[in-house]
């Protein structure tokens, strides 16, 4: 057995991250090379920082359950792919995804009852109504219409706003502000200002709900917190910010990308129509295929993994789409195959920080795909995939616009 490699802190030979895509529907080709030859390798981030990039399924899952890593963004070496002003870093660190034990499990337990499978089924009818309204809007917009503007962005925005209890007149406020926060092309100052604006609004909302708790996630959380006194007002506002952004932008991107995948693989769309019970498989395959969010950690104690030793103070990025395209786990990963049964993908992470809202995201995707392709059976792209403006400049992968069209005499068939 060879000795594990010790980290070389120089960046001269470290490739740049993020890496370029040759095909917008596929991950960077370099991931396959790294996964086969160097599944734990060093890269240089846009900030100039060096970090470990983990691309193989086995190592990704292992690291995401390793207590020798931290989600705390203020830890030495935590990999930041976007520059963050010093004052904003502390603000970013207040949300659930940035916490370590004992705070993280305690805060997570407060929210878990709101995101159970049983609870999601209670929400099904309301989500269906929102999706139907947005398909109505898509059809009313005329041909061609932008899927992102009319459906992908509004659906998760309206769903998470309803879940949190955001007053109806304020709901249009969140789509543009979310884009200002996550857009890689935006300056650190623009992102920080948008984050502060959102937290200020949510802080005022929390104060209002403390005075008069409403029957929604925030209202119930405030009432529960009165007994446990675990979370401050600031904690609750930051949690709401996380849920709004994570539950809105990521789901919107997956709706757009999943629709693209089905339109670009007509055999799979035909199969889904023939066997509607495959909808759950189709959702999981969409999540596996794209894996739009990576998971970052700081090393707090030396770790030997994948033939290397990562030292305390190093940063680690676990690449979900690289792990989900590991051919040892998912044969022929480049094939979009709704019969695959890819339930154990890491698109939602793994371990203690696995996405709390995954059941909600899956339910939204299921209802959108089922409704859209049932009501608009002739839906098709109005531009080639190569012409679409993919989010190469954003921290979460997706597409900014998807022009679609359809045959008017075959549209609007209610499911």
Strands of 5-6's sheet, edge to edge?
A: 5-6, 308-310, 303-305
**Residue 122 placed within a domain:** yes
Non-local (6+) Cβ contacts of 80 within 8 A are 45, 47, 49, 73, 296
CB neighbours of residue 410 within 10 Å: 11
SS3 call for 272? helix
Residue 415 lies in a domain: no
Q: Alpha-carbon distance 192 to 196, whole Å?
A: 6
Answer yes or no: are the C-beta atoms of 315 and 51 closer than 8 Å. yes
Cα angle 269-275-278, degrees, rounded to a multiple of 5: 80
Q: Residue 12: pLDDT above 50?
A: yes
Model confidence at 185, pLDDT cuts 50, 70, 90, reads: low
Tens of pLDDT along 28-45?
999 999 999 999 999 999
- Range of the structural domain that residue 9 is part of: 5-410
Give the C-alpha separation, 285 to 290, whole Å.
9
* 121 located within any domain: yes
Concatenated DSSP letters of 163-208: HHT--GGGGGGHHHHHHHHH-TTS-HHHHHHHHHHHHHHHHHHHHH
Give the chain's domain count. Answer: 1
Count of residues in the chain: 415
Please give the backbone phi and psi of residue 403, each rounded to the nearest 5 degrees, phi first. -70, 130
What CATH number has the domain bearing residue 179? 1.10.630.10
Question: What are the strands, taking DSSP E only, across 227-352?
Answer: 295-299, 303-305, 308-310, 315-318
Query: What tokens were used for 261?
Result: 């995948």
| Mean pLDDT estimate for the chain | 89
- What tokens does 394 get? 């954003």
380's enclosing H/E stretch is: strand 380-381
Average pLDDT over residues 118-128: 94
Please say if the pLDDT value at position 293 is more than 80. yes
CA distance linking residue 291 with residue 12, whole number of Å: 29
Tokens of 75: 């830890």
Q: Can you tell me the mean pLDDT for 308-328?
A: 97
Q: How far apart are CA 46 and CA 39, in angstroms?
A: 21
Half-sphere exposure for 36 (CA within 13 Å, toward CB): 5
Instruction: Please list, in sequence order, all residues whose beta carbon lies within 8 angstroms of the beta carbon of residue 208, skipping any fewer than 6 positions away.
Output: none
| Model confidence, pTM | 0.90
Residue 11 lies in a domain: yes
Each residue of 349-395: pLDDT tens digit?
999 999 999 999 999 999 999 999 999 999 999 999 999 999 887 77
In the predicted model, what is the mean pLDDT of residues 152-164? Answer: 92
């Amino acid at each position: 057995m060879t000795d594990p490699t010790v980290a070389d802190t120089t960046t001269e030979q470290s490739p740049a991250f993020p890496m370029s895509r040759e095909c917008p529907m596929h991950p960077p080709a370099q991931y396959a090379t790294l996964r086969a030859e160097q599944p734990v390798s060093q890269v240089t981030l846009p900030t100039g920082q060096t970090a470990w990039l983990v691309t193989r399924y086995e190592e990704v899952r292992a690291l995401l359950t390793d207590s020798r890593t931290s989600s705390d963004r203020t830890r030495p070496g935590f990999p930041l792919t976007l520059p963050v002003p010093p004052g904003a870093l502390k603000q970013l660190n207040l949300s659930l995804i940035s916490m370590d034990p004992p705070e993280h499990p305690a805060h997570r337990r407060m929210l878990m009852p709101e995101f159970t499978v049983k609870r999601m089924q209670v929400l099904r009818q309301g989500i269906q109504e929102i999706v139907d309204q947005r398909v109505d809007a898509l059809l009313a917009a005329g041909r061609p219409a932008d899927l992102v503007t009319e459906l992908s962005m509004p659906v998760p925005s309206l769903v998470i706003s309803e879940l949190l209890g955001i007053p109806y007149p304020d709901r249009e406020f969140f789509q543009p502000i979310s884009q200002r926060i996550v857009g890689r092309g935006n300056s650190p100052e623009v992102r920080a200002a948008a984050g502060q604006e959102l937290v200020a609004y949510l802080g005022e909302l929390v104060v209002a709900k403390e005075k008069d708790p409403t029957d929604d996630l925030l209202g119930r959380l405030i009432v529960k917190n009165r007994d446990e006194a675990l979370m401050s007002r600031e904690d609750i506002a930051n949690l709401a910010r996380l849920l709004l952004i994570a539950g809105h932008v990521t789901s919107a991107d997956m709706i757009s990308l999943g629709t693209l995948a089905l339109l670009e693989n007509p055999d799979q769309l035909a199969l889904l129509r023939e066997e509607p019970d495959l909808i759950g498989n189709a959702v999981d395959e969409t999540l596996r295929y794209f894996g739009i969010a990576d998971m970052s950690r700081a090393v707090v104690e030396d770790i030997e993994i994948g033939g290397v030793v990562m030292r305390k103070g190093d940063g680690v990025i676990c690449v979900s789409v690289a792990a989900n395209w590991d051919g040892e786990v998912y044969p022929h990963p480049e094939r979009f195959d709704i019969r695959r049964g890819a339930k154990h993908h890491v698109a939602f992470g793994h371990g203690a920080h696995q996405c709390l809202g995954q059941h909600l995201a899956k339910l939204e995707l299921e209802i959108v795909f089922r409704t859209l392709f049932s009501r608009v059976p002739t839906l098709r792209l109005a531009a080639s995939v190569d012409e679409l403006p993919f989010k190469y400049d954003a921290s979460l992968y997706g597409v900014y616009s998807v022009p679609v069209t359809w045959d008017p005499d075959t549209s609007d068939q209610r499911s």
